[in-house]
Amino acid sequence: MTSTTRQELHVREATPDDYEQLAALLSATWPDSPETVRSLREEDREREARCRHLRLLAFDGERLVGACGYGQFAGMYHPRKFYAWVRVHPAHEGQGFGRRLVDTLHRRLARFDPISVLASTREDHRRGMNFAQQQGMSEKMRYFESRLDVNSFDFTPYAHVLPDIRARGFEIRALSEFPDDEEHRRKLYELFCDIRRDVPRPDEASEIAHDFFVSATYDSPYFLPPGYLIAVDTRSGAWAGSSALWKSDQAYLDTGLTGVRRAYRRQGLALAMKLRAIEFARREGAPEIRTGNETNNRPMLAINERLGFVKQPAWVDFVKVLTRE
C-alpha cells in the first residue's frame, strides 16, 4: 500500500528488503545506538503474534528522508494501546517531514480506535522534546542509559562481596552451567516473570507467555548464556535472581533484566551478579557494558553508581491519551 502527499513526499510500507536503508536512517538519527539489518530482523522475528506493527518509509523524490511506525509491547499489551515513532534524517529536519509522518500514523492508527499512544525521545534532543510537546503529549517516565568502562574497573574494593554471599548460602552461576532442557527453561521463565513484577514501566504489565519468552530468549542471536547470571540458593537449589548480559552489534555488551526475588532481597545478590558480569565482560574483551534504569529506581541506580556506571542523557517517554478506557 502506498500514498503520495504534497511536495512529492512518497510514503510506503517497509519490507524486509528495506532493512539496510532503514537501518542506515535509524543509525543516522541516533549514531551512538546504531541499528543493523540483524537487529531489525530479530525485532521482527521475536514479535508476539497478537501485537500489531507497521513501518513506513518516506521518500522525497528518490531520497529516503524519514521513517515512522507503530507497534505494541508484548510486556504491556493492550489491544488499543500503541507505541509510535518518527525519525527524520538529520539532513532533512526542519522541513515539515516529521509532522506529515505523524499525520500519516494518525490515519493508519485510527481504524484501531486507540486509547493512547506512547513515544520516546532523549532529553538532549531538543527538537524531539519540543515536537512531542507540540503534538499534545505529556511526559510519562524517564530512564537513564548508563555505561561502564570495563577496562578501568577496579575490583579491589569488592573483594569481599562474593565470599560474603557464599557464606550466606548463595552462588552466582552462569546459565551455561545448567542443562539446556525444558526444566531449566521453565525455571528461568518463572524467575523472569517473578522479578519483572517490580520493574518500573510506563503502563500496566501484561503476562509474558512461556513459549514467547523461550523463543525470544533462546533463539535470539544476541543470547549469551555464559553472561546470563543466576543467583542460586545453595541450600534449596532455588533461583533467587538473575542479571543478563546480551551481545550487541557493536563491541559493548547490553544488560537485560537484573532483579532479585522479594524473599531474597537486601543480601547483596544484585551487586554480586553485577560484579560477575563485569568479570565476564573483561574476560571476553568487551570494553563497555550498557544498562538502563528508570530515574526513580534508586536501589538499582545506587548499585550502578557505586560501580562507576556513567549516566547518559535520559530517555523520556511521552504519552498522548486519545480516549478514556
How many CB atoms are closer than 10 A to CB 284?
Answer: 14
pLDDT-based confidence at residue 146 (cuts at 50, 70, 90): very high
Compute the distance between CA of residue 243 and CA of residue 151 in angstroms, rounded to an integer.
Answer: 20
Question: Helices marked H in the chain — which ranges?
Answer: 19-29, 37-45, 97-109, 126-134, 161-167, 182-195, 210-218, 269-284, 298-307
Alpha-carbon torsion 247, 253, 256, 259, what sign? positive
pLDDT-based confidence at residue 2 (cuts at 50, 70, 90): very low
- For CATH 3.40.630.30, the residue range(s) in the chain are 2-114, 146-311
- pLDDT for the residue numbered 295: 87
- Kindly state the cell numbers that stand for 116: 493512547
Query: Residue 301: pLDDT above 60?
Result: yes
Compute the distance between CA of residue 246 and CA of residue 256 in angstroms, rounded to an integer.
Answer: 7
CATH number of the structural domain 2-114? 3.40.630.30
Compute the distance between CA of residue 295 and CA of residue 53 in angstroms, rounded to an integer.
Answer: 28
Q: Mean pLDDT, to the nearest integer, of 110-120?
A: 96
- pLDDT for the residue numbered 298: 87
CATH number of the structural domain 146-311? 3.40.630.30
- pLDDT for the residue numbered 5: 42
- pLDDT for the residue numbered 6: 47
pTM: 0.92
pLDDT tens string 219-251: 999 999 999 999 999 999 999 999 999 999 999
More confident residue, 172 or 128: 172
Beta bridge partners of 317: 120, 141
